[in-house]
Amino acid sequence: MDDMAVSRIDYCYNIRIEDDRTREVLFRLLQKCPTKAIYTTRGINYATSIYSRSKSRVVNVYDKTAERTAKHLATGSCSDLPQAYEQDIIRMELQLKVDHLKYMARRGVRRSVKNWIHMGMEYHYLNKLYGMFPKGDFYTFTQAALIIDSAAYRTKMKDRLKGFLHIIADKDMDAAKAEVSYNTYRR
């Protein structure tokens, strides 16, 4: 195995979310995330998946059950039906293509299986993947407005922050970032 050169590596993280409504809301919220992150650009939006790519990486976050069901409907094959272990799974997948692997080889990480298939490397890249999505607490607009109102900001700043949240709710984070100043966005 030491003489093999890795040409692509896939890392994935699966999470089980049993409630259909929760999965639906999750994807609606994820669609509002920035379209450019971790050096990738998001392509077409789908109801149950997010696909983002660059020349050297591909990020795919999708509902495994919906993906298998769509595949079954397209092919008609019973083998394409979701298996029991795939039910209610959200999969976050990161593909590192040969361009990225060659880039890392120039920086001292050989393209050997031993260097790329271990928990440390998977942890490193999955942490980068999580950087695509905002972290923190998620509130309804009413709850967020109450938090903003109780903050020590001036009234004008409170109004700007609420306006910012309205833009995100109506459109997405890219539109909100384009419409407000950098300082308001960072707050």
Q: Are residues 124 and 159 in the same domain?
A: no
Q: Is residue 2 part of a domain?
A: no
Output the pLDDT for position 33.
85
In this prediction, the residues of the chain whose per-residue pLDDT falls under 50 are none
Of the candidates 149, 151, 105, the one whose C-alpha atom is nearest the C-alpha of residue 5 is 105
In angstroms, rounded to a whole number, what is the distance separating the alpha carbons of residues 165 and 162?
5
Q: How many domains does the chain contain in total?
A: 2
The tokens of 41 are what?
Answer: 């650009």
Output the pLDDT for position 17.
93
12 near 96, Cβ under 8 Å? no
Output the pLDDT for position 82.
84
Q: Is residue 135 part of a domain?
A: no
Output the pLDDT for position 187.
67
Q: Is residue 24 part of a domain?
A: yes
Burial class (CB in 10 A: 0-12, 13-18, 19+), 78: exposed
Per-residue pLDDT tens digits for 122-163? 999 999 888 888 778 888 889 999 999 999 999 998 998 899
In angstroms, rounded to a whole number, what is the distance separating the alpha carbons of residues 93 and 187?
30
Output the pLDDT for position 1.
59
Output the pLDDT for position 128.
87
In angstroms, rounded to a whole number, what is the distance separating the alpha carbons of residues 4 and 144?
53
Per-residue pLDDT tens digits for 79-92? 888 888 889 999 99
**In angstroms, how far is CA 3 from the centroid of its own chain?**
34
What is the domain-level CATH number for residue 64? 3.30.310
Domain range enclosing 114:
9-130
Instruction: Let me know how long the chain is.
Output: 187
Output the pLDDT for position 45.
74
**In angstroms, how far is CA 138 from the centroid of its own chain?**
16
Q: Is residue 180 part of a domain?
A: yes
In angstroms, rounded to a whole number, what is the distance separating the alpha carbons of residues 58 and 94?
6
Q: Are residues 73 and 165 in the same domain?
A: no
What letter would DSSP give residue 14?
Answer: E
Residue 108 φ/ψ region, left for φ over 0, alpha for ψ in the -120 to 50 degree band, beta for the rest: left
Q: Is residue 136 part of a domain?
A: no
Output the pLDDT for position 121.
94
In angstroms, rounded to a whole number, what is the distance separating the alpha carbons of residues 100 and 17?
32
